[in-house]
Structure 1
Amino acid sequence: MPNTLLSLVTAELAAPADPRAAAMAGALAAKYPAAARAVLFYGSCLREKNLDGLMLDFYLIVSDYSAAYGKGWLARANRLIPPNVFPFEHNGLIAKYAVLSEADFARLNSPAADNVSVWARFAQPSRLLWAADDLARQRAIAAVAQAAPTLLDLTLPMLPSGSDHGLLDIWKAGFTLTYNAELRAEKKGRSLSIVDVDPDRYAQFGRAALAAISARRGVGTGGEVANSMSPADAPALWRRLQSRGKRLSVIRLAKASFTYAGGIDYLAWKINRHAGTQIAIKPWQRRWPLLGAVTLLPRLFRGGAIR
């Protein structure tokens, strides 16, 4: 991978973050002293100056799931349907964190992933707020550096042929595809606004990612980036990613009802915040969160709150 992309990712992951988020990352790592390898901070809260009242998003990277949980069912659940997601509070801030092993984090940022959830997020800005040692830091950086090339590589064959496409348009097309491959509680157009918030960043990362793809695969006859697959095969791949991604979203929701205390209230908060709805959770839904979450789905689809 060209040094340009790796250096961009290294610098972005090391950029300053809110000190309270950094302290929270350290406290989170301390919960898993035998397993914690890295803690990454990502999501919309990166851009917020006041974190009070917000739900921060972290990924906790661990050496392996047995070291993190022992031999109980949580390790098996994390291995079979990664990641596990848990709530966390520290010094007045609240967060949720997803747990992945170093091996799964690397795989799920690469084209070998069978769903978009990790590489779609880490193609966006993030911060590496804690690492156990230099090897853990380098492994986390290398994994994140796969995300942007994965997104662009899988997007290029989906673009209309016969015309040039600007870097920002490629990014927007890619994020639109990924948003359609998950159940997302976001307002329409959110996939486009991600790029519009920081177009210079996406132009810079886009050039470096395309260079990385070209270095790995070569260029086409006209000097263009060679596609990873034919335009005829790409729609079938994305249909599989969309089908699997939405199934996984429901499965993870069901799993979170067991691993995430107050998960259904978080679900309602997330949907209300991003989709502009006013969902109120009823007492029976808190008592049976799995059933309550499932009963929300038809209403949310009808109202367009998730897609």
Structure 2
Amino acid sequence: MPNQLISLVTAELCAPADPRAAAMAGALAAQYPDASRAVLFYGSCLREKNLDGLMLDFYLIVSDYRAAYGKRWLAAANRLIPPNVFPFEHNGLIAKYAVLSEADFARLNGPAADNVSVWARFAQPARLLWAADDLARQRAIGAVANAAPTLLSLARPLAHAQDALTLWKTGFTLTYGAELRAERKGRSLSIVEADPDRYRRFGQAALAQGLPPSPIPEEAASRWRRLQRRGKWLSVIRLAKASFTYAGGIDYLAWKINRHAGTQIEIRPWQRRWPLLGALTLLPRLFRGGAIR
């Protein structure tokens, strides 16, 4: 009997997507001809009918970082603090894309990951818009199929009930505490409430196949505290790194926060001139105002 969760993940990843997003994924892969293995489209733009004016989100999966970059320091940065994030434009659309190797993508979707950023995203809907070959496609599908079991296994010891939807809601609430988030409180629950049938089907399939071993409640609480501490620091470090790799990164940061938190942050000229310092000076204001959590 085929694995039900793999079947669900495969069908979702291979479902039709906006043709403009698919074209953008192909163009993105073409920027890395010696290294591109897969391109995945994820995030809120999946649900939008009109992509104009939106910031699309992609993951570019590469064979390895040295093959992807002409500059060694970019390969080292991607290996030490994955992922690297870059802007991209194609046919009037704008996007940001994160770069991960096939090995890191598989590791960061599984229970051994030391942060939530990848499996928390790919436990949600995504599309596999481009793959170099069938092996690359199957590796991407296999990695994504580990995301839901990872989230549910870590949520299970701290959930007040063991049904699939409660586990999902508990897991997303915990992951939102493990990153700097611009979204308002309650966003983690609305993810499940937007499509409860999808999360029920995926959750039941993951439970039926058997989840990775869950820690006892005391150990689970300690594990989540570590994930949350590490996640916050990684968010700050990635922000600092993006000031070197992401053109206009501080303007994107302000746009993202204003959009989700209803703030009116304006970037000053000196902050654009020194984006690392400018981004870091925003953090105390954002924490005090509750714009990021």
Paired residue for 2:219, among 218, 221, 233?
233
CA shift digits 1:201-244 (9 cap, x unpaired) = 00000001112225xx6xxxxxxxxx511111111000000000
SS at match of 1:233: helix
Q: How does 1:160-179 map to 2 (within 5 A)?
A: 160=160, 164-179=161-176
Paired residue for 1:187, among 165, 184, 189?
184
Structure 2 unmatched runs, 5+: none
**1:139, distance to aligned residue in structure 2 (A):** 0.1
Which residue of 2 is the match for residue 283 of structure 1?
269
SS at match of 1:95: strand
Paired residue for 1:247, among 230, 233, 237?
233
Question: Bigger shift: 274-283 or 227-236?
Answer: 227-236
Rounded Cα–Cα distance in structure 2 between residues aligned with 1:258 and 1:21? 26
CA shift digits 1:8-55 (9 cap, x unpaired) = 000000001000000000000000000000000000000000000000
- Report whether the alignment pairs 1:7 with 2:7: yes
Q: How does 1:255-266 map to 2 (within 5 A)?
A: 255-266=241-252
Q: Does the aligned pair in 2 maintain the 1:84–1:256 contact within 8 Å?
A: yes
Paired residue for 1:294, among 259, 280, 293?
280
Which residue of 1 is the match for residue 158 of structure 2?
158
**1:2, distance to aligned residue in structure 2 (A):** 6.2
Which residue of 1 is the match for residue 193 of structure 2?
196
Which residue of 2 is the match for residue 48 of structure 1?
48
Runs of 4+ aligned structure 1 residues displaced above 6 Å come to: none
SS at match of 2:32: coil
CA shift digits 1:109-166 (9 cap, x unpaired) = 0001000000000000000000000000000000000000000000001124xxx443
CA shift digits 1:148-190 (9 cap, x unpaired) = 0000000001124xxx443212111100000000001111111
The one-letter amino acid paired with 1:195 is: V
Rounded Cα–Cα distance in structure 2 between residues aligned with 1:302 and 1:140? 39
Q: Does the aligned pair in 1 maintain the 2:159–2:166 contact within 8 Å?
A: no
SS at match of 1:295: helix
- Report whether the alignment pairs 1:125 with 2:138: no
Which residue of 2 is the match for residue 94 of structure 1?
94
Which residue of 2 is the match for residue 31 of structure 1?
31
Rounded Cα–Cα distance in structure 2 between residues aligned with 1:26 and 1:112? 31
Q: TM-score, normalised by structure 1?
A: 0.94
Which residue of 2 is the match for residue 135 of structure 1?
135
Paired residue for 1:207, among 204, 220, 231?
204
Q: Does the aligned pair in 2 maintain the 1:149–1:212 contact within 8 Å?
A: no
CA shift digits 1:79-131 (9 cap, x unpaired) = 00000000000000000000000000000000010000000000000000000
Question: Bigger shift: 66-75 or 33-42?
Answer: 66-75
- Aligned alpha-carbon RMSD (Å): 1.2
**1:70, distance to aligned residue in structure 2 (A):** 3.4
Which residue of 1 is the match for residue 70 of structure 2?
70
**1:71, distance to aligned residue in structure 2 (A):** 5.1
- Sequence identity (%): 83
Q: Does the aligned pair in 1 maintain the 2:164–2:204 contact within 8 Å?
A: yes
